Structure 1
Amino acid sequence: MTSWELSPLYRHSHTLVLANSPNLVSLHRDRLVLRSLADLSPIRSWTLPSLPHPLTTFAASPSDPNYVLVYSAKQRAAWVVDPAKEGEVARIEVGNEGCVAMAWARTGDGANPTVMAWAAHHLHLSLFPLPSPSSPSPSPALQPFRILSPKHSPSPSSSEEQGTGYSFRPDGKFLAVLERHQARDVIGVYSTGSASAAGEWALVKSITLPDPTSDLADLSWSPCGRYIAAWSSITDYTVHVFTPTGTLLSTYTPYASLSPPASSSTSTSSTSSRKPSSASTSTPTAITGNKDCTLTRLDRSTHSYVGLGIRTVQWGRDGEWLSIGGWDGKVRVLSRKGWGAVAEVGVPTRLTGGVGTQNVWREPPNWVSNTRGHGILSYDPVPLPHSLTPLPLDLTRPNPRMGVERIVWSESGRWAAVLNAAFPNVIAIFDFSTLVALASNAHEGETPPRPSLHTLLLLCPSSPSPSPPTPALAWQPSRAFSDGEAEVLCWVGGEKGFGMWRAPTSRKEKGLAECVGIPARGDFSAHSLAFAPDGEALVLSSSPSTSTSSTASAEGTFCVAYPVYEGDEVHVPSGGRAAADESLGGAGGRTWTEDEAEEGESDL
């Protein structure tokens, strides 16, 4: 990839990339517009006469058929429409108990599309199977399957499933839900319509936790479908790994094996008879769970960060490892071979440059205003040693700016991008190639080398803020990274453009960090991004929450960036320019000159 070509800007309040489809659908006021993702030419548009405002949910089904869910909590009703037929497929009326959120179920092949609805006060989770496209019209009444007492429900303002208390197996045949029954957490495993011969939902397993006082925050099914990880809330640092049949494989609690420092003879004698703590060593491979630990909660270390718990959990490549981001700012990686921690990494406060191949790149200051959004600029290399200053810790806030907010793995599993809330303008990229090689052909009991920090990306926002927003980032679904094509990470942070980092393809390379401007007329600040499934289009939006759900009904703008590879024909999308009244101005690619850009804007 050597360049990007950019589409014009379009007004919208929500935009969705349809799964398994070369199209996208955008919502502008009461109009739905279906466009071709290749050139944004309109395919059809229609008006929803009863469209409510503001919307609580605007989401596309994750599989065929490509239905769109429109839900308004204020009107207590949801509409399911089919962009291909311009028709209303179904309408869901919410009862008097109310509904705090709706989402699409990720059911497998052969199952009808299903809408999930969470009632207020955690009363129940309803699953509405929709009629198939071949069903007669009008559609029959929807009979939901109800799951009682779900512990959590998704936030309408969040576009991520994490923190919602449910997870689907990758093939969509089973659903795991975190429930609360008789003051105890339980994991219910349900078969979806694609898993049963009758096509109905059913409870197949209820998993009880080893500790009846456990307070779980969320759970996640592994990409391979063989494991379910469930972790505790902010009050503790505990991760359980189960099989779908309910067998407990491991309980990981890194701080449970830490005893207080031997400051007196009494403490020395009290700990001398215990097994030495291996977690106090400096090597990350020595961190273990508490399988053989007999320490009580009162015996645990009283260090300031103990008890802050887990903030985010992400499965790695093919379920080979589980990455845990804590409020202590550390990322611990567990291997499925024994479920012990094989790595512990974090954003350093000082880089000396004496060990490894650490690279630090800084975004050019005021590059948008200096270039007027034209062209692609490289990040500036930062000489080492270099120091980072975290945000001042304000413990008076309920959620202080600290800890690991996001862990995003690349498709190959070699790279992981980490966002630490204490360093809001820093993107840390770690190299886990040693773990990938070990998972491929290593023997049991072999100690893997330590993953290393490869690159630090320092962002320089044009409008500095004491509480800057967290950048949104995503790895490009690579079309051929196994054939030598470099993996690409893209991010946005409220600028009139986006950033990208191209991973090195050999040990001699350092990678390449660039910022891509959007030479569009008018104000535009990208807050969210989403790749098309094939990775050949990147949707950039000025609305902070537009990927799957949003409570905001304010009007924003969006554009699409198309990667251009060496040898490819230059593609300048122009179909949308004659597409009606949403177009705001031209935004060409890097090959546009300033005069050409101004001429293109005047034509609109």
Structure 2
Amino acid sequence: MDFTEIYRQSSSLVAFSPGGHFVLTALQDRIIVRRTDTFQITRTWLVDASPSQTNLFLSNKQNVNVKAKSSQTSSSLASDNWITHCGWSCDSEYILAAFAKRGVVHILKLRDEDWSGRIEAGTEGLTKAEWAPDGRTILCFSEWGLRVTLWSLVTGTATYIQFPIHPDRGYAFRADGRYFILGERHKSKDTLGVYDAAESYRLMRHFPLPTSSLSSFAVSPTGNHIAVWEGPLDYKLHVLTLAGNLLATFSPEPDPGFGIRNVAWHPNGMFLAVGGWDDRIHILDSLSWSAVATLELSPRVPSTVKVWREPPKWMENTEGRGFLSYERPQGVHVLPLIRSDQTKPNPKSGTAQLEWNTTGDLLLVRFDNVPTAVHIFDFPSPQEVFVARLRSVLLHSHPVISSRWNPARKGSLVLCCGTQGVYTWSDEWVSESGEEEEMAECIGVPAQKFEARDVKWAPDGKGFILFDKDQFCCAFEVEDEEVEAM
């Protein structure tokens, strides 16, 4: 791995462009664009953080008869001038920069220094802004779940949709970007709206949901089905068509007592992985919508499963530079399970993460009961007998904070634990005999002070971004090392 220098950032707003040629960084009220080949700055903007007229009027009204503010309040007001959301359009032509607390969104053009756009929210406020898949429409979610506004850069018009349930997890686009699906609440009932993005977001379907309190939903990769599930107190998942027809309802027996935490569609839409606050993961198939396999967390790892353990004090031994392979303990291994108190809110239990790799033959699972471990389950191909099994377990000295599959390679994983190192796992290592084998390595970040808290892959899968609280760096594969490995 070849690491770049350490750069400043704010709110973890750093992103590769869709083509992977640029890196976008938000630093307080500035937007910085760098080239990924040299990391030289290509463009930089000082974005106007002045509030919208409505926001300014409401702020002045609230501040009437208010005495001088404390230094803590002044610091809070200074952070209001920071960019809260930013991102690339799908063709890397435009950049979005939003100040949610100011109620404004700026649109910048990469190759035109003089062109810019500005969107001002009204009295409804602004909590979130992002691009639609077409790269010419911006979604703006208002405060208090009042509405979502879709602003078109092509026509200069806006489409308003009322009463979205969740601005963070209650909406989705179909994989081809044709339909926008939004969870709504009308007359105290959960509903789902389907809007045609190619027809200025014209309403196509609007139907009630069988849920009493919608937690979230997920659209299948094929776009034919929608999985919706209840809140945290009811373990129920419903599968519907895009027309609103209910196909099946899944609820395990016996009832675990808590709801669903994570749901992940298989890349080809054939399976659906469901995990709750218990230690079980149910795999549903798209033929019967019933559980064809149940994966359960066990404190004892069988000897047939490969266990990779982070070497103790490897950071001190390598002085934070270079890389070191994981240890391979033999025999049956016992995991250090944490017993959570189920009587308290948000107990540390259940499935913290469910994520398939690009081909769907591997499933990554993280359990809150074992925060230092990553489980990798192996799934057969469609031509083989369906038997899911635990393949590998990665054990670490600190709790795993973030883990991501490579978006371009089927067997490459990167994760971080809030330390000055990054951890990789791959099943694409070619041995001397010519066979593919697993390899897990600890890689130190060559910096005096850096704690990797999150990681994001580049679109081509040849590098990734590592985030600290207010810093970031990038790591890329070294071509010479790839040749030697082959």
Report the equivalent of 2:183.
178
Partners of 1:510 and 1:342 in 2: CA distance: 29
State whether residues 220 and 269 of structure 2, in contact with CA within 8 Å, keep that contact through their aligned partners in structure 1: yes
Report the equivalent of 1:214.
212
Q: Which amino acid aligns with 1:497?
A: G
Report the equivalent of 1:130.
153
Report the equivalent of 2:166.
152
State whether residues 350 and 386 of structure 1, in contact with CA within 8 Å, keep that contact through their aligned partners in structure 2: yes
1:121 and 2:140 aligned: no
- CA distance 1:28–1:454, shift in 2 (3 Å): same
Report the equivalent of 2:446.
519
- CA distance 1:59–1:381, shift in 2 (3 Å): same
Query: How far did residue 243 of structure 1 move?
Result: 1.6
Partners of 2:480 and 2:449 in 1: CA distance: 31
Report the equivalent of 1:560.
474
Partners of 2:232 and 2:8 in 1: CA distance: 40
State whether residues 282 and 293 of structure 2, in contact with CA within 8 Å, keep that contact through their aligned partners in structure 1: yes
Report the equivalent of 1:287.
none
Query: How far did residue 424 of structure 1 move?
Result: 0.8
Partners of 2:28 and 2:124 in 1: CA distance: 29
Query: How far did residue 567 of structure 1 move?
Result: 7.0
Q: Does the residue aligned with 1:524 lie in a helix, a strand or coil? A: coil
TM-score, structure 2 normalization: 0.87
Q: Which amino acid aligns with 1:427?
A: V
Report the equivalent of 2:366.
419
Deviation above 3 Å: which 4+ runs of structure 1? 49-56, 504-510, 565-570
Q: Does the residue aligned with 2:340 lie in a helix, a strand or coil? A: coil
Q: 2:401 aligns with which of 457, 465, 471?
A: 471
Report the equivalent of 2:7.
10
Q: Which amino acid aligns with 1:130?
A: L
Report the equivalent of 2:38.
39
Report the equivalent of 1:406.
353
Q: Does the residue aligned with 1:503 lie in a helix, a strand or coil? A: strand
State whether residues 476 and 489 of structure 1, in contact with CA within 8 Å, keep that contact through their aligned partners in structure 2: yes
- CA distance 1:75–1:46, shift in 2 (3 Å): closer
Report the equivalent of 1:169.
174
Query: How far did residue 333 of structure 1 move?
Result: 1.1
TM-score, structure 1 normalization: 0.70
What RMSD over aligned residues (CA atoms) do the two structures have, in Å? 2.4
Partners of 2:281 and 2:37 in 1: CA distance: 39
1:577-592 equivalences under 5 Å are none
Query: How far did residue 224 of structure 1 move?
Result: 1.3
1:24-173 equivalences under 5 Å are 24-50=23-49, 53-54=79-80, 55=82, 57-87=84-114, 89-107=116-134, 113-131=136-154, 142-154=156-168, 164-173=169-178
Equivalent pairs: percent with the same residue? 32
Query: How far did residue 183 of structure 1 move?
Result: 1.6
- Cα deviation, 1:337-396, whole Å, max 9, x if unaligned, reads 22121111133211242xxx3011111122222212111100011222111122231335
1:370-385 equivalences under 5 Å are 370-385=317-332
State whether residues 181 and 192 of structure 2, in contact with CA within 8 Å, keep that contact through their aligned partners in structure 1: yes
Query: How far did residue 231 of structure 1 move?
Result: 1.2
Q: Does the residue aligned with 1:254 lie in a helix, a strand or coil? A: coil
Report the equivalent of 2:342.
395
Identify unmatched segments of 5+ residues in structure 2: 51-77
Q: Does the residue aligned with 2:317 lie in a helix, a strand or coil? A: helix
- CA distance 1:166–1:31, shift in 2 (3 Å): closer
Report the equivalent of 1:231.
229
Q: Does the residue aligned with 2:207 lie in a helix, a strand or coil? A: strand
1:292-303 equivalences under 5 Å are none
* Higher share in strand: 2
Query: How far did residue 519 of structure 1 move?
Result: 1.6
Q: Does the residue aligned with 1:343 lie in a helix, a strand or coil? A: strand
Query: How far did residue 5 of structure 1 move?
Result: 1.4
Q: Does the residue aligned with 1:369 lie in a helix, a strand or coil? A: helix
State whether residues 58 and 68 of structure 1, in contact with CA within 8 Å, keep that contact through their aligned partners in structure 2: no
Report the equivalent of 2:395.
458
Partners of 1:398 and 1:566 in 2: CA distance: 51
- CA distance 1:370–1:87, shift in 2 (3 Å): farther
1:311 and 2:338 aligned: no
State whether residues 118 and 124 of structure 1, in contact with CA within 8 Å, keep that contact through their aligned partners in structure 2: yes
State whether residues 85 and 99 of structure 2, in contact with CA within 8 Å, keep that contact through their aligned partners in structure 1: no
Q: Which amino acid aligns with 1:496?
A: Q
State whether residues 49 and 99 of structure 2, in contact with CA within 8 Å, keep that contact through their aligned partners in structure 1: no
State whether residues 79 and 88 of structure 1, in contact with CA within 8 Å, keep that contact through their aligned partners in structure 2: no
Q: Which has the larger radius of gyration?
A: 1
Partners of 1:510 and 1:331 in 2: CA distance: 27
Partners of 2:451 and 2:439 in 1: CA distance: 23
Q: Does the residue aligned with 2:268 lie in a helix, a strand or coil? A: helix
- Cα deviation, 1:143-166, whole Å, max 9, x if unaligned, reads 321111111122xxxxxxxxx101
Q: 2:420 aligns with which of 491, 496, 500?
A: 496
Query: How far did residue 88 of structure 1 move?
Result: 5.4
Quick check: 44-53 or 411-420, which moved more?
A: 44-53
1:313-392 equivalences under 5 Å are 313-353=263-303, 357-392=304-339
